[in-house]
Amino acid sequence: MANIFNFDDEFKLGIKAADIEHGQLVDMLNRTYELLKDGNREEARNYFNKTLSAYVHEHFRNEEAFLKSIGFPELEEHKVIHANFRKSVEELSLRIENADDVAFRQGLADTFTWIINHIGKTDKKYAIYYHKNRGK
């Protein structure tokens, strides 16, 4: 299977639960790409829409609980970032359900960008905090 994105070490946080969930997002993006490549546009759209919505709600809840448990000082700012992405996903989801290809392409682009910018940069902040402060 040819991937559109590889979940390389540069995106891993060294926090098992987070790395597993982030890897699932990458897998979802790659599965969507495979379906598109194979000409299954409607199936790709439905799969992406269903899995992205589920991912966003479950993962953000898990991540925010983890950040609270470690006393991450930027938790509230992180929650705002999550809320903004969640809102974007919900708005796009309604359009994607109605076979809006522009919304589908936007959702794919937003997810790709989210992986690079949020997981690859923003989440690194809490990983650094966690690794620096665990055991204290």
**In the prediction, which pLDDT does 90 show?**
86
Residue whose entry in the numeric block shows the structure tokens 């589908």? 104
Counts for the chain of helices (H) and strands (E), in that order:
5, 0
Q: Does domain 15-133 have CATH number 2.30.30.60?
A: no
% residues pLDDT > 70 (the chain): 97
Tell me the per-residue pLDDT of 23-73, one tens digit each, with 9 for 90 and over. Answer: 998 998 899 999 989 999 899 999 988 888 788 889 999 999 999 999 999
Looking at residue 6, the DSSP 8-state letter turns out to be -
pTM here is 0.86
**In the prediction, which pLDDT does 19 show?**
95
Burial class (CB in 10 A: 0-12, 13-18, 19+), 30: middle
65, 68, 4: which is closest to 36 by C-alpha? 4
Distances (CA, A) of 25 to 48, 70, 108: 10, 23, 11
Tokens representing 126 are: 């809490």
Domain spans in the chain, listed from the N-terminal domain onward: 15-133
**In the prediction, which pLDDT does 136 show?**
53
Q: In this predicted model, which residue has the larger pLDDT, 25 or 2? A: 25
pLDDT classification of 116: cutoffs 50, 70, 90: confident
Is the pLDDT at 77 greater than 80? The verdict is yes
